[in-house]
Structures are given as C-alpha cells and as structure tokens.
Chain A
Amino acid sequence: DVKVTQSSRYLVKRTGEKVFLECVQDMDHENMFWYRQDPGLGLRLIYFSYDVKMKEKGDIPEGYSVSREKKERFSLILESASTNQTSMYLCASSLSGLATYEQYFGPGTRLTVT
C-alpha cells in the first residue's frame, strides 16, 4: 500500500516567514509533485521532480522553491510567506515510465498565512 505523508495537517504562519512543507513517500517512486488546491481552481501544479536533485517548474512556481535531496523526500519552501499563499497544499508521487501514471496523494497541509 502506497504511503505518502506530509509533515503537518495544519500550519499557521506569519507574513514574511520562511515555511517548509515536507513530503515523504515509501514506495520508491521516481516522480514527486507539489500542488495547491483552492476552491473553484482545482489542483494547480507548483513544482515537480523526476529524480533526486532534479526539479521542474509547474504552472504556478512564483514564490515557491523545492528541494529533493533524497528519492523519498520532496520539500516545498515558501521563501517569504504571503497571505495569498494561504491554501491547501497536496504532495503526490508516481512511478516513472509508461506503465502507469497514477499519482498517489498525501493527506494535505492546510496553510494559513496571517
């Protein structure tokens, strides 16, 4: 059974703080993703990674950075949190290759920036 975990379910930060969201998967998946989920906007891709130390920008990378030092761990960093980054953040992982593209999601982190 695939397990994707996120470091926090709820987080409250102040404007200007540096925020770290961590995601860990235990299925040796090559691909990892960070999304934010907002009502009426669906899931929007922030960054993704196809391998250790590799990263690619998604649709909304501004204000975010990522780090993937180990295969199982993918971190999302808000360099200077702003109120418009208040959202639900979802991490996901998947195998690489053509066999399957199914993404397995973590439980999400609801971040509030005040």
Chain B
Amino acid sequence: GENVEQHPSTLSVQEGDSAVIKCTYSDSASNYFPWYKQELGKRPQLIIDIRSNVGEKKDQRIAVTLNKTAKHFSLHITETQPEDSAVYFCAASIPMVFGAGTILRVKS
C-alpha cells in the first residue's frame, strides 16, 4: 500500500519568512495530493490540493508543487503570519494516506 513520509516534523520561522514542507510517497498510481491544516484544538481543514496532471498550484500565499517522477510534493507558504501556526498534514492516494504532520511555528 501507499506510504507517505513528511519532513520536517517541526519548523520554526520568523514572521514574514517562507516555510516549505516536503512529502514523499511510494505508490506511483497515486493521483491526488491534498494538504490539511489543523489549528490547536480544531479539526483538520483542506487548504490546497493538487492532482497528478498538474505540476504546481497556487492560492494566494500558499502553493503546492508535485514531482511525479521523483514521487514528492511540497507545500510552500510565503510571507508567513502568526495565524499560519498549526500542524500541517500531507496526504496521497484514495483513500488517503496521511503523513505524520509538521508543526509550524511562526514567531512574531
């Protein structure tokens, strides 16, 4: 079955800096790659997703890139703000297999 690895497990950045979280997957048949954000004490919510026929997708300050050949995808957050502090999960495949999560702390 699918296996998803996510790095780093924790990430601290200064407000205004960029943050990058990377995930690798094992099943070349996977074709859907979402990112979920979970704020402290709240439920995970989808922030962006990408399908395998697209290499990059942007939504304001967040973007996701996908390299199907290397089987990895990344979340990029630019101009980070304190409200970006949360746990971020990547996932792959249907039904979804999630990465272990990245705790992002944005220091003001």
Contacts and interface: CB of A to CB of B under 8 A. Distances in A.
Contacts, number: 44
Given A42-B6, A59-B1, A105 B45 contact: yes
Interface stretch (B14-22, B66-74, B78-86, B88-96): B88-96
A106 B44 CA distance: 9
- Chain B binding surface SS class: loop
A45 B96 contact: yes
Contact of A105 (B1, B34, B44, B95): B44
B46 interface: yes
A101 B9 contact: no
A102 B34 contact: yes
Contact of B32 (A4, A45, A101, A105): A101
Interface of A: 4, 33, 35, 40-45, 48, 56, 58-59, 90, 101-103, 105-108
Interface of B: 1, 6, 9, 32, 34, 42-46, 49, 89, 94-101
